[in-house]
Chain A
Amino acid sequence: MMKAPVGGALHRHRIPAISTLALAAMLALPMQAQAAGTRAGSIISNTASASFDTGGGAQTVDSNTVDLRVDELIDVVVDSSDPADVPTTPGATNQLLTFSVTNSGNGEEGFTLSAIANGGGDDYDPTVTQIYIDNGDGVFDAGTDTLYTPGANDPVLDPDESVTVFVLSTTPGSVVDGNRGTVSLVATSKTGTGAPGTSFAGQGEGGGDAVIGSTGGDGQDMGAYIVSAATVSLVKSAVVADPFGGSEPVPGATITYTIVATVAGSGSVSGLAITDNIPADTSYVAGSLTLGGSGLTDAADGDAGDYNGTRINVTLGTVAGGQTRTVTFRTTID
């Protein structure tokens, strides 16, 4: 029967009585054709046959068989999965970048992961806190995904297999709107890396050699955060109308206050609210509260504003950069 190959090429001479067809069937070892190529350890077996006639009828002779074992090609590709820079804010923690790591070689291979945050070409260095390996659903969840510890749970991938990797970072508090910070995820073959063609004798899957492919045995790709901050400025103004048609602040005069909130920057502010105490010696004019020119009731109800006896409050919620909100109310001088 067949002997297991021990080297790259095996030459075997056989008795030429077995038909080529039967031999081909015998040598039909499992061989997967994949994008990554023939699986490492597969045997490529070649036999030719000659048929001829020397006058006594057709005869057939088979050649020797050459068996080649396919060695392992080590290749890995890392891709950033985020379609655009990921927005972050100054001081934010657990900011998520998503990558995929694909074994583009032809053998099972383990990979060490690392993150580079100080690669330059950006405005600041995010502080990478953790790397997680996805459980397969593609969505980060610290409860179900696996916290990566180098050397302890390095991903082992079959040819063409991919794994999703999450990188979590903290954004420094000192960054300002528009700053960009990059993080590269690096995956390194555990068998080795080097110039394409570098080989590691006997370390390939299936007992052959491992050979570094075009990727050099390591891959990396860059993801980026973009700081999207916003600032709020408030401008308050007052207009006095006295009962005599003038603008003297006398008892009985009405003061109309206008508060303009302006949000600037590429980000937005959330939970924005405007609160103003009614000054002493003045009285709030019931039902005078407006937002953007529309009246608000004084009760704390479905609309954004209320007056509780001492102050007005208007809840603005999330306001994007570049927008303004205008609140007005009136008081009378006691």
Chain B
Amino acid sequence: MRRLFLILAAAILPGQALAANQVALDNSVFVERVTTDANGKQRVKLEEPKVVVPGDKLVFVLNYRNASAQPVDKFVITNPLPDAVRYADAGDSRPLVSVDGGKAWGLLTDLTVRQPDGTTRPAQPADVTHIRWAFQQPIPAGASGKLMFRGIVK
């Protein structure tokens, strides 16, 4: 009876529950602080975000890992930008971005924003609402990686 119940439960559970064990996505946020030492040299430090005020530069770090025994395909990571954060850059990872709440996607340099008077202008980092990385190759079993982007507290 007990065995039968377990089998039934397994059948009812959606695939996502299994996927959760196969692919892990961890999100952490740091504050990037630039200090100038006695010699006038600038040092960039990533700190735990204990104190965050407008104007601070936040570094969002996403760690992904394929913990399953098989490759995962069509791997796409999406990060909606919090309202109070203005997108700055994503290093050299060239993510796709959306400037319209996630409807249309493209490289920032390819996107335009329609203005109230009907004309369009090139999209700026401040227009970005979502960031997305779409992997061209499957993620091999056991593989992991790290993505990051920067944003500024509005």
B20 touches A53 (CB 8 A): no
Docked Cα-Cα span, A154 to B79, in Å, equals: 44
B72 touches A54 (CB 8 A): yes
> Does A238 make an interface contact (CB < 8 A)?
no
Q: What A residues does B17 contact at CB under 8 A? A: 17
Which single member of B29, B53, B62, B79 contacts A71 (CB below 8 Å)?
Answer: B53
A70 touches B15 (CB 8 A): no
B20 touches A66 (CB 8 A): no
Docked Cα-Cα span, A208 to B153, in Å, equals: 15
Q: What B residues does A73 contact at CB under 8 A? A: 53-55
A213 touches B16 (CB 8 A): no
B25 touches A70 (CB 8 A): no
Docked Cα-Cα span, A63 to B49, in Å, equals: 18
> Does B117 make an interface contact (CB < 8 A)?
no
Docked Cα-Cα span, A208 to B28, in Å, equals: 20
B77 touches A106 (CB 8 A): no
Q: Which residue from chain A places its CB closest to the CB of B14 in the assembled complex?
A: A17
Q: What A residues does B82 contact at CB under 8 A? A: 44-46
B72 touches A38 (CB 8 A): no
B54 touches A49 (CB 8 A): no
A44 touches B51 (CB 8 A): no
Q: What A residues does B16 contact at CB under 8 A? A: 16-17, 59-61
> Does A164 make an interface contact (CB < 8 A)?
no
Docked Cα-Cα span, A278 to B70, in Å, equals: 123
B78 touches A8 (CB 8 A): no
A64 touches B27 (CB 8 A): yes
Docked Cα-Cα span, A248 to B19, in Å, equals: 128
Instruction: Please judge, given known A-B contacts A31-B83, A52-B72, A55-B70, whether A61 and B19 are in contact too, CB under 8 Å.
Output: yes
Q: Which of A8-59 contact B (CB under 8 A)?
A: 8-9, 11, 16-17, 20, 24, 28, 31, 33, 36-38, 42, 44-59
Docked Cα-Cα span, A131 to B54, in Å, equals: 32
* Most-contacted residue by chain A among B14, B54, B75 (CB, 10 A): B54
B51 touches A38 (CB 8 A): no
> Does A116 make an interface contact (CB < 8 A)?
no
Instruction: Please judge, given known A-B contacts A24-B80, A46-B60, whether A70 and B29 are in contact too, CB under 8 Å.
Output: no
B81 to chain A, nearest CB (A): 8
Q: What B residues does A57 contact at CB under 8 A? A: 15
Which single member of A11, A48, A72 contacts B53 (CB below 8 Å)?
Answer: A72
> Does B90 make an interface contact (CB < 8 A)?
no
Q: Which residue from chain B places its CB closest to the CB of A74 in the assembled complex?
A: B53
Docked Cα-Cα span, A53 to B80, in Å, equals: 21
A48 touches B79 (CB 8 A): yes
A38 touches B19 (CB 8 A): no
A8 touches B52 (CB 8 A): yes
Q: Which residue from chain A places its CB closest to the CB of B79 in the assembled complex?
A: A48
Docked Cα-Cα span, A56 to B16, in Å, equals: 10
Which single member of B52, B55, B77, B154 contacts A50 (CB below 8 Å)?
Answer: B77
* Most-contacted residue by chain B among A48, A56, A57, A68 (CB, 10 A): A48
Docked Cα-Cα span, A9 to B58, in Å, equals: 12
Q: What B residues does A108 contact at CB under 8 A? A: none
Q: What A residues does B58 contact at CB under 8 A? A: 44, 68
With A17-B17, A37-B154, A66-B27 given, name 13 new contacts (CB 8 A).
A8-B50, A17-B16, A20-B78, A31-B83, A31-B84, A37-B153, A45-B82, A49-B25, A51-B76, A54-B71, A59-B15, A61-B16, A61-B19
What is the interface of chain A, defined by CB distance below 8 A to chain B? Answer: 7-9, 11, 16-17, 20, 24, 28, 31, 33, 36-38, 42, 44-66, 68-73, 106, 199, 208-209, 211, 213
Which 10 residue pairs across A and B have the least CB separation, nearest first? A37-B54, A63-B27, A48-B79, A8-B50, A59-B19, A38-B84, A63-B25, A52-B72, A73-B53, A52-B75
